[in-house]
Structure formats: C-alpha cells, structure tokens
Structure 1
Amino acid sequence: MAEPPYLGDYRRNIGQPVKAAGLAFVKLPGAPWHQRQSLKNIVAALDGQDGMVRFVGGAVRDSLLGLPVQDIDLATILKPDDVMARLSKAGIKVIPTGIGHGTVTAITRDGPVEITTLRRDVSTDGRRATVAYSDDWKEDAARRDFTINALSADPETLEIYDYFGGLEDLENRHIRFIGSARQRIAEDHLRIMRYFRFLARFAETRVDDEAYAACTQAAESLHSLSRERIADELMKLLVTANPAFAVGKMLDAGIFDHVFAGAESEAAAQLDRLVNREQAYSIPPVAIRRLITLLPKDVDKAGKIVTGLKSSKKMRRGVMDRLTAQEPAAADMPVLAYHYGAEAAQDIALLFAADDDLAACMEALDGWQKPVFPITGGDLIAMGLEPGPIVTKTLAKVEQAWIDEGFPDEERVTQLARESISPD
C-alpha cells in the first residue's frame, strides 16, 4: 500500500512538544483550497492569527491523503453571534444554517464555508445531541466519530493538531472510533453506517475489531433512525471506489437486516463483479446501479425495498427499469435503450450481461442515439383510419413492429401502418 503523502515524517516528529494541548506533528500540504483569498478573509475576520479558528474535518484528512477537497469546515472558539457579526462587518455574507448547533455558513465566490463554534455534548439519545459551547479544542474533537476525522489545522501555520492518534490511523488506513466504540455508537446510531462507509473509502480490507463488534451488537438500533438518513449513508458508501468488502462485512454482521429486508446473500460478490466491469470500461460509479446488486431480482420485492428507503420516484423508476432485463444480448441493447434510455441500457449490460456477451452489448450502445418514430396518429387518419381510440391502439402496434424490425426507415414504417389499417 502506498504511503499517504505528508505522513512519512510522522514517526520522526512524534517527539515534538505539546502545543495548545495538542501535538503538532506535520503540516498541511500546499493546496489551492486553503490559499483562496475568500477563505483567508474569513480567517482574518475571526482572528485566525490568534488561534481563534482552525480547519477541521474532511478538508484536513483528505489533504493529508492527497485527495481532492470538496467541503471546507472551520471550527472556532467564538460564539455564533460573534462570528456572524465579525463576518458581516468584513463584508462577508453569512447565513445561520444551523444556529441551534452553533453552525453558520459564509457564502463566498469560491463556495460555502461552514463555521461551527466548539461544542461539548450535554446529552445524546442515539439520534440527536444537546450541546453546549466550549473553548476546549480537545473536548470538541472528542465529539467526532473517528480519529481520522478529529484532526485540525492552524490556518496560519498549517500545523496539524492530533489528540487521538488520527495521524497514525490515517497512515495505516485504520478506521477507529474515538474512545469506546460502543459509547460512540450509543450517542449516534448512524455511526454504524458511517463506519462502513469510511471502511469502504479508506480502509480497503482492514477492520477494527472493537468497531466491528460494536456495530454488530448495536445493529438493531438502526431501526430508530429515519430511512432517509440510512439511505443517504448507504448511497455515499456505494459510490466509493470499491465498496464490496465493506458490504460483505455488513452482510456478515447482519447490518442489512436492519436497513432493508431481503438483501442478496451474494451481494458482495455481485457488487465486486460490477465494479470490475465498470473499471474495465472506465465507467464512473453510480449509486442506483450498484444498489441493484443488493436487491432481490423480483421487481415487486425490490420496489418495496426502494420505496421503504424513501427514495425519489425517479430512483424507484430507475430501479424498476433496470430490473426488467436479465442476461441481455447485443441485439437487445438498442431496444432497451429506446425504452429506458442509453444510461439504463448500459447499466443493464453491466449488471446482467453474461461475460461472453458484455463486450458486444457495450459496443452496441457505442454512439447510440434514440431514433424518432416517423409517423403520427394524424398520418394513420390520413391513410383512412377512423378517428378514435383505435388510432392510439394501431399506432402502438405499428411502433412495436418498427422496434421489432430494428427501427427501419419511414418507407417501411408507412408500409407497416398500411398493413395494420388494411391487414388484408
């Protein structure tokens, strides 16, 4: 396994002195995101030069791994009202997006930046937490789920602060809860799903025994969460590079029994097969395509599961479309693409085509464009068909014949239409 960038000096720097109650082991690598002037303006408005604010969360973690940074989060000692006043005074638009939990969002030309006041938990019930503000960086970091997510960085010096061994875990791709795994899951049951998502994204095939046991023991607690929250985490898990190992561990632990009933026992193997096919054709992951590997092939049962996950009508329809064809051949692909769209037809091939047929199925879709049915109901009436319901019925019959013959030209369709109107 390749060593993550910027973590190679971890062992050499482990003797560095304590700084602000945290150990500064390494620095954030140079990256465009923390050099943005819009972000520097926010930091300056919040007295970042005096240690009042830090980069936190995924931006720190992903920068250390050399991954693209999507979302930028800041933590600060300042109270939300003070943050909003300071940003407004600096001419920076700010919205109280989560003021009840100490979060406001600065709106910049480079995108939103969330800023959250340091917090400590007062009480938790597995679904939500009551919090109080804090001025203790370690106390705030202790609220986070995994050690690799508890890293923070000084925006001025770029020094990393690590209170729970997150740097070593990041280097080893080890997903470990902060403190007691059972306690952290009891605080927020969604952390079960988050554990497997982070396992899929970062850990490859290494499971933390304590974390895995705690997730297994607490799996039933997932019933207390909304299906929307469960589905959101599941979809994020499914679009990681290769979630097959994590899905397999979820199946072994019985997690899916509490997510949706009916997950395929061979789902991990089917998912791994699909991922290999996607990679062979350089096709990016899509959650709906990968979800289908987990679902029963019975359309009605699958539909109930997707509905139970509170999915959109578009996603439910997409699942149903993709489950209509099993082991398609190359000759089926234009018809599938015509009915369901080229993307759905491609998914059907990736999911269900036999190994010997996959290449031909994919080739059949190369450059495919949906043909236009060349006649209308008015054309049938002009040919002598009486107006009324018979027009719609006859038009559908002609269109099906056109599809069955491989989408011939208008001359042939006109002939088919005349034969339908006057079959003798």
Structure 2
Amino acid sequence: MSHRLQGQDWLTAPATRAVMAALATAGGAECARFVGGCVRNALIGAPIDDIDIATTLTPDAVVAALKAAGLRSVPTGIEHGTVTAISERQPFEITSLRRDVSTDGRRATVAFTTDWAEDAGRRDFRLNALYADAEGVILDPTGQGYDDAMAGRIVFVGEPEGRIREDYLRILRFYRFYAWYGRGAPDAAAVAACAALAEGVEQLSAERVSKELLKLLAAPDPRPAVRLMGAAGVLGRVLRQPADLMLFEAMVDLSGDAVLRLSALLPADPARVAEIARALRLSNAQRDRLVEAVSGETTTRLTDAQARALIYRDGRQAFEDRVMRAWAAGGDPGGARRLVSLAQDWVRPIMPVGGRDLARLGLKPGPETGRVLKAFEDGWIADDFPDHGHEDRLRALLPPA
C-alpha cells in the first residue's frame, strides 16, 4: 500500500516546485525526492524546519541544473555530495545518493550511487530513511520506516552496532530522536548497542556532542531519554562526571529552557561547571549563564527588597535561574513564581550619582572617589533604591575636610 503526504503547503510552494522542476529537467521525474525530517514530520504532524532533497544526480549535475533554471547554489558540503539551492530566498539542501566506502566512527568516505535502497541503507533510523516524490508519494526502502514513524519507534537501519560504529554521534541521536519522537518502550537492540558502545562518544568533537545534547534537552519531555542515557553510562561520559537526575527531573516540569535544564544536571560548583562547559565547547554566553546559575544560593522566600538587591548585583537571568533551581529543589512554588515575576517586571535603576556629583561637593578626583561611590551604592541598595536624599547621603560619606 502506498502512502502520500497530505495538506503540506511546503510541498506545493513555488520555491519548492522550482527546485524540483530544475532537478527533474536534468535527470527525469524520478531523480529527486524529499528525504528525512521533512517527510517524517509531515507524516506525524510535527513542525518542519528544513526541506532536504535526495537525488540520483551528481553534485556537479545538481549545480548545473540549478544554474540552468536560474537558481543559485552554494557548495555547502560538496565533498560529501551536498549542495544548497536557494529558491525565493529559501534554502534547500540537496544531497546525491550515497553509500559509505569507509568510516572511522566520526567521518565517512562516500561514493555516489543511483540506488535509493543503498542510500537508505546508510541512514541512521528507519523513520529517517523515508522519501517522497514531488507529488508527496512515499518511498519506504526499508519497508518499516513509515510504520515506525507512525508508531513512534526509533529503530536503527540494519544492525545497530554497525550503524553506530560508522558514526558514534548516532548514540546521541538515538536518545534525541527517542526524546522527540519516541513513544512506548525503546527498541531493546538500540538500547543495548548504545550501552555497549558508549565510550565511542568520547571520540566525537565537543561541538557535535553539545549540539545534540541541547537539542535533546529542548524536547517537550526529555526525561525518559536522559534516564536511558544515564543507565547506559552515556550521560556520565558526555558530562564527564556522574549526574544526579533528581533536580533535572523536577526542572523539566518547570521550564522548557534547554540551558536551564542542563544546569540542573550539573553540580553546584561554579569551577566544575565552567570546566564542563569549556570541555563541551559551549558558547561563552552559555558557559557564563551555567556558571552564574550555580554561583550563590537563592531561596524562594526572599523579600522583594532582597530580590531586587540580588537582581541589581547579579542580573535578571542569573537571579531567575537560581530561583528556578531552588524551586526544582523543593522550594515554595508561590514564592518562586512571585520572584520570577518580579525579576521580569522590575526595571533595574541606574545609580543616581557619580564622580561629577562628588567633584561638585568638593572632593578631588582620586581613589577616594571610588570608595565613596561604592559606599553610597551599598547603602542605596540596602535601602531598596530610594529616589531621593542622594546629596545628603553623599555628604555623610565624604572624608573630613
């Protein structure tokens, strides 16, 4: 029985039609099909981010076909057979059908083919080895990809250990896809293979690992997948230490923020968190946020004045993250909501005095200026940022004449 994509605007959009028509002109109607995520997500009703196309044409032929149709091409990964077409400012990633010649667990040497089944055979999961032609008719070379997609089964194409040894990133992809698309019990053969080859993730670049990890943590409920990772020893290898899942389990209920969820997997040790963030090659902003989230304790029972003082000194994001961690650790929900709301609504004031005010009062510029301003700021914060009496406060802090 053949299946067809239904009600997909992207399938019939002029930009999409232009790319498919360009390829068909060069290689015939059956030379190009949509592949992977766009087909899978269209079937299950999930959002579609990217439109990928597989083709029997070689990369050079793809470039020539696009040029002949007046479309721009970008050689984004041409050594691996990938060309990006730009149609009406929208990118379409076009990859020539491939088979692996050799792999080392991180990279593959490929050869081009015209066999759709051979191309499907080198893909990771059966639900990702689905193709659809320009009219939306599904091609399922493994014979089980469609059923897997509809049932929420994440099953490797062929023998799991073989697929993983080709690229150890597939271990993390298994957990990510299970988090996003899996339903019911995980595939036992996949679980066993990921556990048996867990040390392979240590061969991967940190950038690839952190990208997969953050995508996984952004899933609506990543807890079952993360539990599997922990039980298999994969999570400990990724984080370079054992992980306590209790705080994480609670945090998932409170926030969908992947970075905040990651912080809940990390120890309350700023130096150690900074070390882990650097090892994962996270961005500076992500690293700093994680470090700030565990730097200093915040309870959910702070007064509004105490909260404003902390927000002023440490910043809104750090304060919110610490409150969320305290909430996940068993803090008062009402207090936490109040503090988060305060942080989001309160506008941090600018200190109302500066060096010019002190000069006007007769204090010559120098080290004493900094001391007086620091003392003023401390008192101003402690008194909850009053908007009056500033000159009298400064005079009281001036050194004797």
Q: TM-score, normalised by structure 1?
A: 0.88
Query: Residue 352 in 1 paired to residue 334 in 2?
Result: no
Please give the secondary structure, in 2, of the residue aligned with 1:78: coil
Residues 189-242 of structure 1 show CA distances to partners (whole Å, capped at 9, x for unaligned) of 011111111111111552111101110110111111111111111111111111
Aligned-residue offset at 1:54: 0.3
Taking the aligned partners of 1:217 and 1:113, their CA distance within structure 2 comes to 37
Closer, same or farther: CA 408–55 of 1 in aligned 2, 3 Å: same
Matching of residue 181 in structure 1 with residue 155 in structure 2: no
Structure 2 residue aligned with 1:407: 385
**Contact (CA 8 Å) 2:151, 2:183: kept in 1 or not?**
no
**Cα–Cα, structure 1 residues 35 and 423, in superposed 2: closer, same or farther, change >3 Å?**
farther
- Which residue matches 1:296? 267
Match among 151, 158, 169 for residue 136 of structure 2: 158
Residue in structure 2 matching 1:107, options 76, 86, 106: 86
Give the match for residue 88 of structure 1. 67
Distance 1:28 1:245 in 2: 30
After superposition, the Cα gap between the structure-2 partners of 1:416 and 1:205, relative to the gap in structure 1 and judged at 3 Å, is farther
Q: Is the 8 A contact 2:18 2:87 kept in 1?
A: no
Report deviation, 1:110: 4.5
1:221 to 200, 218, 223: 200
1:59-208 to 2 correspondences below 5 Å:
59-155=38-134, 157-164=135-142, 165-204=144-183, 206-208=185-187
- Within 1, Cα distance between the matches of 2:53 and 2:342? 49
Give CA-to-partner distance per residue, 1:166-190, whole Å, 9 cap, x none. 1111122111111111110000001
Take 1:146 and 1:423, find their aligned partners in 2: how far apart are those partners? 78
**Count, aligned residues:** 391
Out of 270, 279, 284, the position equivalent to 1:308 is: 279
For residues 271 and 205 of structure 1, the distance between their equivalents in structure 2, rounded to whole angstroms, comes to 21
Identity within the alignment, %:
39
Once residues 106 and 115 of structure 1 are traced to their aligned partners in structure 2, the CA distance between those partners, rounded to angstroms, is 7
Residue 318 of structure 1 aligns with which residue? 289
What is the distance in 2 between the residues matched to 1:368 and 1:395? 23
Specify the SS of the correspondent of 1:123.
Answer: strand
Change beyond 3 A, Cα 1:115–1:388: same
Give the counterpart of 1:43 among 17, 20, 24: 20
Pick closer, same or farther for the CA change 1:351–1:85 going to 2, 3 Å. Answer: same
Inter-partner Cα distance in structure 1 for 2:154 and 2:400:
70
Deviates more, 1:301-310 or 1:356-365: 356-365
8 Å CA contact 2:56–2:114 kept in 1: the answer is yes
Q: Which runs of 4+ in 1 moved over 6 A?
A: none
Corresponding residue number in structure 2 for 1:398? 376
Q: Equivalents in 1 of 2:168, 2:108: separation in Å? A: 12
Distance (Å, rounded) in 1 between the aligned partners of 2:235 and 2:57: 42
- CA offset at residue 422 of structure 1? 4.3
Distance 1:335 1:149 in 2: 51
Q: Secondary structure at the match of 1:95?
A: strand
3-state SS of 2:290 partner: helix
Give the drift of 1:46.
0.6
Deviation at 1:380, TM superposition (A): 1.9
> For the structure 1 residues 26 and 423, does the alpha-carbon distance in structure 2 shift closer, same or farther, using more than 3 Å as the test?
farther
**Is there any run of 5+ residues in structure 2 with no aligned partner, and where?**
none
Q: CA RMSD of the aligned region, Å?
A: 1.8
Paired amino acid for 2:358:
L
Query: Matched residues in 1 for 2:238 and 2:46: separation?
Result: 30
Letter in 2 for 1:160: I
Q: Distance in 2 between matches of 1:109 and 1:333?
A: 49
Aligned residues of 2:201 and 2:238 also touching (Cα < 8 A): yes
Which one of 9, 31, 38 corresponds to residue 8 of structure 2?
31
- Residues of 2 paired with 1:336 and 1:199: CA distance? 39
Unaligned runs of 5+ in 1: 1-15, 17-24, 279-284
Change (3 A) 1:70 1:422: same
